[in-house]
A and B are shown apart, each in its own frame.
Chain A
Amino acid sequence: MTAPSNPTLRLQYRQLYQNSLRYSLLGTCLTHRPALWNQVRKSHTAITADPVPLRKQLKDEARRKKAEKKASPKSSKTLDPRLSRWELTVGLEIHAELNTACKLFSPAATSLNAEPNSHVALFDAAFPGTQPQFQKATLIPALRAALAFGCEVQRKSSWDRKHYFYQDQPNGYQITQYYEPFARGGTLTLTQLDGIETSDCPEVTVGIKQIQLEQDTAKTILQPPSTYLLDFNRVGTPLIEIITLPQIHSPTTASACVRKIQSLLRAVDACVVGMEMGGLRCDVNVSVRERGTTAEGLSEYAGVKGLGTRTEIKNLSSFKAVENAILAERDRQIAVLESGGEIEGETRGWTIGQTETVRLRGKEGEVDYRYMPDPDLGPLIIGQDLVDHLKDTLPMLPDETAERVVNEYGISAKDARTLISLDDGDRLEYTEAVVETVMQRLASLPEKQSFDKVGKVVADWVLHELGGLLTTAGVPWETQTVTPERLADIIVHLQTNQITGNTAKKLLAHYASLQPVAEAAIPSVSKIIDTSGLRLVPLTEGEYIEMAQKVMAENPDMVKAVREKGQKGKIMWFVGQMMRRGEEGRVEAEKARSYVERLLEV
């Protein structure tokens, strides 16, 4: 059975197969339904019934969804009653790959998807007798990350060995900074716009305990049943581990925190590979405690007192997984405690699609890492001049940028954040260039018009119009061909009423579809308008009155309703009819309304 090409009918098919309740709701207004449904079941492809108007279809969908929501007992928005008794506490440990050319302790190059075992130095392969050589350039993104969180950079920090045997660790130990990390004591503030839980609003401040430098491990591919294939390209890649204080109290806020950390690291060019590509990994520590209890007898971590026993969840590979895993673990811990049990300090795992975390190892299987200072490496001594220089030249952080954009351009906070996050900030740069050009052109025109909405209009065009076109065509932003000047040209013509909105969209589509050629070969907006006769000629007063009188003559009862019954709302109906009849874009709603009001003597 082939799906019909009519989108309205396709919508109908989906509904039919899902719910009989919906069937009965729709049955009253979609009288053709039984026949259609039977035809569908008999695999008839030729459907001859009239489709229902889309507007009605959408209204019914909305009504059905509302009814379902009221009927469903478990709503995610209502607060779980157990949370009034139990408080959740979460701490995050985030490992992020630094944006560097070479590895941390060898001059081999870092890589993402290179041929296996093609970027391995002798030290990375743990050949006996090889020594680590600290690569200084790796400090730049590391320091930028520390400064982005407002951490105190330690002048002296040291390297330690964390011993454990596993096939992805050729040396048998990982070089990390356990005793003396290079940065301590930062903060991260999250607001409602970052997506925190409503109970945490207006803002949440999460402390950063420390940031340390360490090595990454090899990539392993499991060939079932028990063969491991090893690619050492990733061994020794510099990572920073960001450890937050346990000051997060909801799964949504935890997920928002991870997202914000990723965006901050990207903004300062410290870590540019995202979570979906494996460049950022997250482990969480989850504990619950009863509200109103004193801190006595409870654990403490880095100065935060009164914590229950915590479990650690490893291998979280997406923002949603972080949220779901914490939710599942919180519920499990509450269930255990409420039934009188005790929480064991264990390590657990989570796979997407499961409903509960899975135990990986308990306290008896806890690894003894036997931390010891690495005798091959001297301390890391960071000069204050370097820290000062990086602080002075640190790129503006996303929150500050969003504030600037909102203040300068009148764009909404949500749109501002979208612009900043898209394409590494290139989309915002483009928008600002377009606004600058548009303002310049409009300023030089003889007629002065009010242009406070320019920023909003431009942002709308870049995000929705141009963005929509590129998404539909599957064109990435880096290769799109509409220059800022070209888009500014279109918008200027639109703002000065030389073309209609639809014409502007068509022009944009035309420019976006062009192959990249020399600028001179592309015709300008004015040229296209003139050659294709797209210039908008506004209606004269006489034309307005003539049209209004025509509409009124054809609908005397509507005229009566307004004049005699005083139904002023129907005035806009007249305006609507005029806009429908008139040539597209030539009828201006405001002007039409004033003429209609004048004629109706209202």
Chain B
Amino acid sequence: MFRMQCFHVLARSSTKSHRWFSSRPIDAEALLSKRTWSVRSLLPSTDTTPDSPQVSSEQLHHLLRLSALPPPKDPSEEARMLRTLSSQLHFVREIQAVDTTGVSPLRTLRDETTEGEQRNEIGLAELKDALCGEDAVGKHHKRVRRRRDQDGQKTAAETWHVLGSAEKLIGKYFVVEGGK
């Protein structure tokens, strides 16, 4: 949604020229001094009663368990949690109300150009070294076997002291107490 906002701002500033980017210098400070949008518009106003479905106490406890968060200490804390959760859900519903037809969701910030995709493609060239680590075995019954003589050797990523930051150890194992 923010991407669409920026797009509109840019388009507005270059309505006279045919190029996307205007040749006139942009007065950034003047542009940014006026507030065009506030997140408060997505939060519920305190006087209106929410008509959307409420989160029940059981649902709250279920979510806290899933997230390994501590349960509320007393009913007033639970009421506070439910109120916060309710306004957060209102916010999420406002976001979900935006029309996203034809827009694929953003999963991760990455290079989405075709050149970027080509660079990230894993093909034969990238795996040539790995394929050299195999032997063609057998004259009659032809098979492939990965060479395993180097297996078990410590790589550069393994030279740190793995057990060093553990509070409790039994031999070379980390320890977790499973009892309640």
Contacts and interface: CB of A to CB of B under 8 A. Distances in A.
A384 B108 CA distance: 24
A436 B140 CA distance: 10
A596 B162 CA distance: 84
B121 A383 contact: yes
B25 to A, nearest CB: 36
B139 interface: yes
A373 interface: yes
Interface string B139-170: 11111111000111111111010110000001
Contacts of A429: 137-141
A109 interface: yes
Interface string B108-150: 1110000001001111101100110110011111111110001
B144 to A, nearest CB: 5
Contacts of A230: 173-176
A158 interface: yes
A21 interface: no
Nearest to B172: A116
A102 to B, nearest CB: 7
B75 interface: no
Interface string A94-105: 000001111000
Given A117-B172, A119-B154, A436-B140, A389 B124 contact: yes
Interface in A235-273: 267-269
A35 B176 CA distance: 64
Contacts of A548: none
A370 interface: yes
A111 B152 CA distance: 6
B53 interface: no
A425 B173 contact: no
Nearest to B130: A137
A378 B120 contact: yes
Interface residues of B, number: 51
A229 B146 contact: no
Interface stretch (A41-49, A209-217, A219-227): A219-227
A125 B145 CA distance: 30
Name the residue among A110, A401, A429, A433 with the largest chain B CB count within 10 angstroms.
A429
Contacts of A99: 146
B102 interface: no
A163 B130 CA distance: 32
Contacts of B172: 115-118, 231
B34 interface: no
B70 interface: no
A386 B66 contact: no
B157 A228 contact: no
A326 interface: no
B18 interface: no
A564 interface: no
Contacts of B133: 101, 137
A329 to B, nearest CB: 28
Given A102-B155, A393-B144, A227 B110 contact: no
A571 to B, nearest CB: 44
A100 B160 CA distance: 22
A227 B122 contact: no
A392 to B, nearest CB: 11
B110 to A, nearest CB: 5
A58 interface: no
A383 B124 contact: yes
A554 interface: no
A107 interface: yes
A158 B156 CA distance: 28
Given A165-B68, A269-B145, A395-B142, A231 B173 contact: yes
Nearest to B66: A368
B170 to A, nearest CB: 6
A111 B155 CA distance: 12
Given A136-B130, A268-B144, A381-B120, A109 B152 contact: yes
A386 B160 contact: no
Contacts of A574: none
B24 interface: no
A381 B108 CA distance: 15
Given A109-B151, A226-B177, A121 B143 contact: no
Interface residues of A, number: 73
A228 B121 CA distance: 41
A425 B141 contact: yes
Contact of A380 (B107, B122, B146): B122
B173 to A, nearest CB: 4
Contacts of A377: 108
A594 to B, nearest CB: 40
A496 to B, nearest CB: 24
A368 B162 CA distance: 31
A429 B142 CA distance: 8
B173 A108 contact: no
Interface string A114-155: 111111111001000000000011011100000000000000
Contacts of A119: 152, 154, 158
B151 A228 contact: no
B162 A232 contact: yes
Contacts of A121: 157-158
Nearest to A401: B141
Contacts of A116: 171-173
A425 B175 contact: no
Contacts of A375: 107-109
A109 B153 contact: yes
Name the residue among B123, B156, B171 with the largest chain A CB count within 10 angstroms.
B123
A139 B158 contact: no
A203 interface: no
Contacts of B108: 373-378
B140 A229 contact: no
A100 B66 CA distance: 34
Contacts of A368: 66
Given A111-B152, A167-B178, A383-B124, A117 B173 contact: yes
Nearest to B147: A101
24 contacts: A102-B155, A107-B157, A108-B155, A109-B154, A111-B151, A115-B172, A118-B162, A120-B158, A122-B160, A165-B68, A167-B176, A226-B179, A227-B177, A227-B178, A228-B177, A229-B174, A231-B173, A267-B143, A370-B66, A380-B122, A395-B144, A424-B143, A429-B137, A432-B141
Given A119-B158, A120-B158, 6 more contacts: A107-B156, A109-B155, A136-B130, A222-B178, A229-B171, A370-B66
- Complex A-B, nearest 6 residue pairs according to Cβ-Cβ distance, in ascending order: A383-B123, A432-B140, A226-B179, A229-B173, A137-B130, A226-B178
